[in-house]
């Protein structure tokens, strides 16, 4: 068959088997009872579910999906009860923006996009259990997202607060951080200001310590664990009070990790938003401070934390008193101190803190060294001289004791992690199931909806555009917003904020365990059987967002006795990105996007799958190489041709029953070695090396069984099985051509004979005085004398040893043969 017709043939085979799998629901996971009765262990393999965008998949998306699919197909053959689900994380801005522009309801756009995605995923032969498909925007799903919000609220983990948001007056809307670039809106380039607005917030900080500790036992990439650790940002130190100068009943509290440097404090800094700032500002400095505050309000926190920017700040005119020396210390305000961290105020030690040093040098503030090069205390003032010479770590303890005794300090731990702002002023999100009571005894209070009032569905709106007041478009739907409280009959207003994009994805892995349940979000039975996810695959860009939120919800649900596991994802893997052929990120604007549909149409899905896995190590970024697809296609075509007859209508007529013991020795070894290699490579997701060892074995097969020689049936069967997880369509077809009536998907995975994974002879170079002079081949069990005799009788070695004295002969079993002569 010509390459073209073979490509076509592969396409037909793809469709045939995709239909077969779907008709037989072959990838449906067994329910826990059934699986237990069959003694099958579970394997829960999860892909990060996609946002179904309007542009469909590009070749970068399937990389992870194919990779996890290979693992799932392998695990089924190993006898596991595999749960491999897929669904849609479908709330979000693009569909909403489309609705604003075109007036089409986001659910319609979403549905259409899902259809495209699903068709594309199926065309790759991915073995999903579609009976468990979920969609975060369907009321039957978000009913339970609302239910979990309710649990969080009841546990005191959801509260309302005035939080400063990015407000764009021109667009009349609140913007997410990534929609703001250099203080301007990404869309239109309009000015964005900070403005306080009422928001729902989840108290993730209450779980900071447990989120940190839990990381240690997870089988996750170290880099991702480190990102989460940094994000949580635990700091151990002390909170110290500096009494106000002139009013020692009041004090300015700072957080420091270095109480040992307290005698090096030469000024204080409060954040420009600090509530005590006003107290310090003298009349003389008032104008300057106000102007500075205004200037800072236009800068984002990220800009403020940029250590490379020149320090700015102003003196307030006020002072505090050093808690130990009682000296007066000037108070400054500067934007390198952030309000949201620690106490929003610092004791500045320019001798030992880089930021403070830069600031002090710029403004001519005194710098006092208090820690020596050896890390011991120096220059402690009168009354504290005995601290000199102490190691800084010991001094921390002494100074904390001292301050605690005076009630001017206490040991403290802070976390960089902030509470999670859980509200968006948008339409296309889960409504927050809360009403605000407007009259009667409960006036001003809120009520969370009862379970029987859920789901609270999104109403139809005339316009999806922002309301212009900063509130969500829901606020304009008065029939929906204005309600009577079911319990008291009091007038009430519905909450109009919707939940953020990451709400639905914070628990979807639980819903897959029991997606049809209408009574509960999941049954205990299903969760205790399937949890935790055994293998989770997705991009590293979710390291601190989704992956941290999901861990947080899981821990809350665990504390409520609703799940059996403390952690949701036991093992995590990040696939690397597939770059464009030019080595750049694929993007429409660069014009380097490859559409998988085109590749599949020409070569079939198996070539696409194998090619993507063969590009390189799964976790590395690598460029797409159209030219090399041909190579992969040729490899699969070779497999096909060896195992089938001339016109691809039947199995090769040369296939015969020949026991393994009758095969040539070399192929026995290559065969067992490959089974071993492919097995361990799949377990470690080293698919590129698994594929190359299958290529090597195919070459061996051609050299021993090609040219119309007899082909052992068990060799063919095993080869098909080893290739099956990667190239599932053609291997199913080959399997059926061999006369099998059942699918290959649940055939037992091949085993190998360890003793046959190596040839029983070894070939080694013979070194003479450190240089290789010849090569000998001998039995693996040969002893030193036998090897020596062989080495010394080798012609090319003799040239270098003749007439010389053999000083030493070294043989390291199966590794080194070395002769030393004089
Ligand atoms: C005195 C000192 C001396 C400090 C020294 C450091 C070194 P991490 O480790 O990141 O937690 N700090 C405290 N609150 C701050 C805020 N709201 N904005 C900016 N900086 C703040 O950093 C803790 C240190 O950062 C604290 O310890 C404080 O400076 C500063 F040689 O106090 B340190």
> If you compute the radius of gyration of the chain from its CA atoms, what whole number of angstroms results?
34
Give the dihedral of Cα atoms 425, 431, 433, 436; nearest 10 deg.
Answer: 40
* H or E segment and range at residue 16: helix 3-23
Q: What share of the chain is helix, strand, coil (3-state, %, to 5)?
A: 40, 20, 40
Q: Which residues contact 111 (CB under 8 A, 6 or more apart)?
A: none
The rounded Å distance from CA 202 to ligand 1 centre is 26
What is the reported pLDDT for 761? 82
Cα–Cα distance, 292 to 330 (Å, whole number):
17
Query: What distance in Å separates the CA atoms of residue 211 and residue 555, rounded to the nearest whole number?
Result: 8
d(CA 575, CA 620): 7
Determine the distance separating the centroid of ligand 1 and the alpha carbon of 353, expressed in angstroms: 8
Q: What is the pLDDT of residues 430-467, one digit of tens each?
A: 999 999 999 999 999 999 999 999 999 999 998 888 88
Question: DSSP letters of 737-750?
Answer: HTT--S-STTSPPP
Distance CA 84, CA 35 (A): 15
Where do we find the tokens 């004295």?
805
Q: Are strands 234-244 and 247-256 parallel, antiparallel or unpaired?
A: antiparallel
What residues contact 676, with CB distance under 8 A and at least 6 apart? 752, 754, 757
For ligand 1, the distance from its centroid to the CA atom of residue 816, given in whole angstroms, is 58
The strand pairing partners of 180, in sequence order, are 185
Ligand 1: centre distance to CA 346 (Å)? 6
Q: pLDDT category, 588, cuts 50, 70, 90?
A: confident
**For residue 814, how many other CB atoms are within 10 A of its CB?**
14
Distance of CA 582 to the CA centre of its chain: 26
| DSSP state, residue 652 | -
- State how far the Cα of 761 lies from the Cα of 507, in Å rounded to an integer: 56
| pLDDT one-digit tens code per residue, 223-275 | 999 999 999 999 999 999 999 998 889 999 999 999 999 999 999 999 999 99
Residue nearest to atom 27 of ligand 1 (CA): 256
- CA 347 to ligand 1 center in whole angstroms: 8
Answer whether residue 596 shows pLDDT above 90.
no
**Which secondary structure element, helix H or strand E, spans residue 555, and what is its range?**
helix 546-559
DSSP state of 335: T
Mean pLDDT throughout 484-488? 91
Span from the CA of 341 to the centroid of ligand 1 (angstroms): 9
Give the C-alpha distances (Å, rounded to integers) separating 51 from 87, 90, 92, 592, 755: 9, 5, 8, 21, 49
Q: Which two tokens stand for residue 103?
A: 């007036």
- Considering only CA atoms, which of 269, 303, 296 is closest in space to residue 194? 296
**Closest ligand 1 atom to 416 CA:** 11
Q: CA angle, corner 84, sides to 83 and 85, nearest 5?
A: 110
The winner for highest mean pLDDT among 122-126, 183-187, 810-814 is 122-126
Which alpha helices (H) appear in 298-391, and where do they start and end?
Answer: 301-305, 354-363
pLDDT(702) > 90? yes
Q: What is the DSSP string of 487-511?
A: TT--EEEE---B--TTSGGGTHHHH
Ligand 1 is surrounded, with C-beta below 6 A, by 235, 255-258, 261, 337-338, 341-342, 344, 346-347, 349, 352-353
Distance CA 164, CA 166 (A): 7
Looking at the predicted structure, is the pLDDT value of residue 627 above 80? yes
Distance separating alpha carbons of residues 701 and 709, to the nearest angstrom: 10
From residue 213, alpha-carbon distances to 152, 228, 235 in Å are: 22, 11, 14
Of ligand 1's listed atoms, the one at least distance from the Cα of 352 is: 31
DSSP secondary structure letters along 27-45 = TPPPPHHHHHHTTPPEEEE
End-to-end CA distance of the chain: 64
Separation CA 76–CA 351 (nearest Å): 63
Q: pLDDT value at position 506? A: 98
What is the pairing mode between strands 535-537 and 572-573? parallel
Whether pLDDT at 166 is above 90: no
Mean pLDDT of all residues belonging to the chain: 94
Q: Which of 445, 443, 416, 569 is nearest to 507 (CA)?
A: 569
Q: How confident is the model at residue 163 (pLDDT cuts 50, 70, 90)?
A: confident
Report the nearest-CA residue for atom 11 of ligand 1.
235
**Comparing C-alpha atoms, which of 195, 372, 159 is closest to residue 297?**
195
Task: Give, using CA atoms, the residue closest to atom 14 of ligand 1.
Answer: 342
Q: What's the full length of the chain, in residues? A: 822
Q: Which residue has the CA at smallest separation from atom 25 of ligand 1?
A: 256
Q: How far is CA 487 from CA 143, 483, 491, in A?
A: 21, 12, 11
**355 C-alpha to ligand 1 centroid (Å):** 9
> If you take atom 29 of ligand 1, which residue's CA is the nearest one?
256
Report which DSSP code applies to 63: H
3-state secondary structure of 94: helix
Residue 337 CA to ligand 1 center (angstroms) comes to 9
Q: What pLDDT digit, counting tens, does each position of 604-615 carry?
A: 999 999 999 999
| 188, pLDDT greater than 90 | no
| 8 Å CB contact between 780 and 790 | no
In the numeric block, the tokens 């821990």 are attached to: 555
64 has a pLDDT exceeding 80: yes
Phi–psi pair at 244, nearest 5 degrees: -65, 140
Neighbour-count burial of 299, counting CB atoms closer than 10 A to its CB (0-12 exposed, 13-18 middle, 19+ buried): middle
Answer for the pair 31, 626: CB distance below 8 angstroms, yes or no: no
- Counting atoms of ligand 1 from 1, which one is nearest the CA of 336? 19
Q: What is the pLDDT at residue 242?
A: 98
Query: Which range among 143-147, 164-168, 622-626 shows the weakest confidence by mean pLDDT?
Result: 164-168
Nearest CA to ligand 1 atom 32: 256
CB-hemisphere CA count at 13 Å for 819? 29
Instruction: Name the closest-CA residue to atom 8, ligand 1.
Output: 235
H or E element, residue 333: strand 328-334
For residues 773-780, average pLDDT: 90
State pLDDT tens for residues 549-576. Answer: 999 999 999 999 999 999 999 999 999 9
Ligand 1 centre to CA of 296 (Å) is 20
């Amino acid at each position: 068959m010509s390459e073209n017709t073979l490509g076509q043939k592969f396409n037909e085979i793809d469709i045939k088997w995709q239909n077969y799998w779907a008709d037989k629901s072959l990838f449906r996971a067994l329910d826990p009872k059934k699986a237990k009765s069959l003694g099958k262990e579970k394997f829960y393999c999860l892909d990060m579910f996609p946002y179904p965008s309007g542009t469909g998949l590009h070749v970068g998306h399937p990389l992870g999906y194919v990779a996890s699919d290979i693992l799932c197909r392998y695990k089924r053959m190993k006898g596991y009860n595999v749960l491999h689900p897929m669904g849609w994380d479908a709330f979000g801005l693009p569909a909403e923006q489309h609705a604003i522009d075109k007036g089409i309801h986001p659910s319609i756009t979403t549905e259409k996009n899902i259809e495209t995605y699903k068709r594309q995923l199926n065309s790759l032969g991915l073995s999903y259990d579609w009976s468990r498909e979920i969609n975060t925007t369907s009321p039957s799903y978000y009913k339970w997202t609302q239910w979990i919000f309710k649990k969080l609220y009841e546990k005191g983990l959801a509260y309302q607060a005035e939080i400063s948001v990015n407000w764009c007056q021109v667009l009349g809307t609140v913007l997410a951080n990534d929609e703001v670039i250099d203080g301007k809106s990404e869309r239109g380039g309009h000015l964005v200001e900070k403005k306080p607005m009422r928001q729902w917030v989840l108290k993730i900080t209450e779980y900071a310590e447990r989120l940190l500790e839990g990381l240690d036992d997870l089988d996750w990439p170290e880099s991702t664990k480190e990102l989460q650790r940094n994000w949580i940002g635990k700091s151990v130190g002390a909170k110290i009070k500096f009494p106000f100068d002139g009013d020692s009943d009041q004090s300015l509290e700072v957080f420091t990790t270095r109480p040992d440097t307290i005698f090096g404090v030469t000024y204080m800094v409060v954040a420009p938003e600090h509530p005590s700032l006003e107290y310090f500002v003298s009349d003389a400095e008032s104008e300057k401070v106000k102007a500075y505050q205004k200037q800072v309000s236009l800068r984002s926190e990220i800009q403020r934390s940029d250590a490379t920017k020149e320090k700015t700040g102003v003196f307030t005119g006020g002072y505090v008193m050093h808690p130990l020396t009682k000296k007066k210390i000037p108070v400054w305000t500067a934007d390198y101190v952030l309000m949201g961290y620690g106490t929003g105020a610092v004791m500045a030690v320019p001798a030992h803190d880089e930021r403070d040093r830069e600031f002090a040098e710029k403004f001519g503030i005194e710098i006092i060294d208090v820690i020596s090069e050896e890390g011991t205390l120096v220059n402690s003032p009168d009354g504290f001289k005995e601290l000199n010479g102490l190691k800084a770590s010991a001094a921390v303890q002494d100074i904390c004791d001292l301050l605690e005794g005076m009630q001017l300090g206490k040991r403290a731990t802070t976390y960089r992690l902030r509470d999670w702002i859980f509200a968006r002023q948008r339409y296309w999100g889960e409504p927050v199931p809360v009403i605000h009571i407007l009259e009667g005894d409960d006036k001003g209070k809120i009520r969370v909806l009862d379970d029987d009032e859920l789901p609270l569905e999104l109403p139809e709106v005339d316009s999806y555009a922002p309301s212009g007041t900063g509130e969500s478009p829901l606020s304009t739907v008065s029939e929906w917003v204005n309600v009577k409280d079911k319990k008291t009959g009091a007038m009430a207003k519905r909450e109009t904020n919707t939940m953020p994009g990451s709400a639905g994805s914070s628990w979807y892995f639980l819903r897959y365990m029991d997606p049809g349940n209408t009574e509960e979000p999941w049954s205990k039975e299903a969760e205790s059987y399937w949890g935790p996810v055994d293998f989770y695959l997705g991009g590293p860009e979710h390291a601190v967002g989704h992956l941290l939120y999901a861990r947080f919800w899981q821990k809350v649900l665990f504390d409520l006795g609703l799940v059996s596991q403390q952690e949701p994802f036991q093992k995590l893997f990040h696939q690397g990105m597939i770059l464009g052929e030019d080595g750049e990120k694929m993007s429409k604007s660069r014009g380097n996007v490859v559409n998988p549909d085109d590749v599949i149409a020409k070569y079939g899905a198996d070539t696409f799958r194998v090619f993507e896995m063969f590009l390189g190590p799964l976790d590395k970024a690598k460029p797409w190489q159209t030219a090399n697809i041909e190579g992969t296609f040729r490899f699969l075509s070779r497999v096909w041709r060896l195992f089938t007859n001339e016109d691809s209508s039947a199995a090769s007529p040369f296939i015969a029953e020949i026991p393994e013991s009758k095969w040539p020795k070399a192929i026995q070894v290559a065969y067992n070695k490959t089974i071993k290699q492919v097995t361990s490579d799949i377990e470690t997701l080293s698919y590129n090396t698994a594929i190359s060892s299958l290529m090597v074995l195919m070459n061996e097969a051609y050299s021993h069984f090609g040219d119309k020689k007899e082909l052992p049936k068990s060799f063919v069967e095993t080869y098909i099985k080893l290739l099956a997880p990667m190239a599932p369509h053609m291997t199913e077809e080959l399997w059926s051509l061999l006369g099998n009536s059942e699918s290959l998907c649940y055939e037992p995975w091949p085993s190998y004979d360890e003793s046959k994974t190596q040839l029983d002879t070894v070939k080694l170079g013979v070194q003479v005085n450190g240089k290789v002079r010849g090569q000998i081949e001998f039995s693996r069990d040969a002893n030193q004398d036998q090897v020596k005799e062989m080495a010394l009788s080798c012609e090319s070695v003799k040239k270098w040893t003749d007439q010389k004295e053999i000083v030493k002969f070294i043989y390291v079993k199966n590794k080194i043969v070395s002769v030393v002569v004089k």
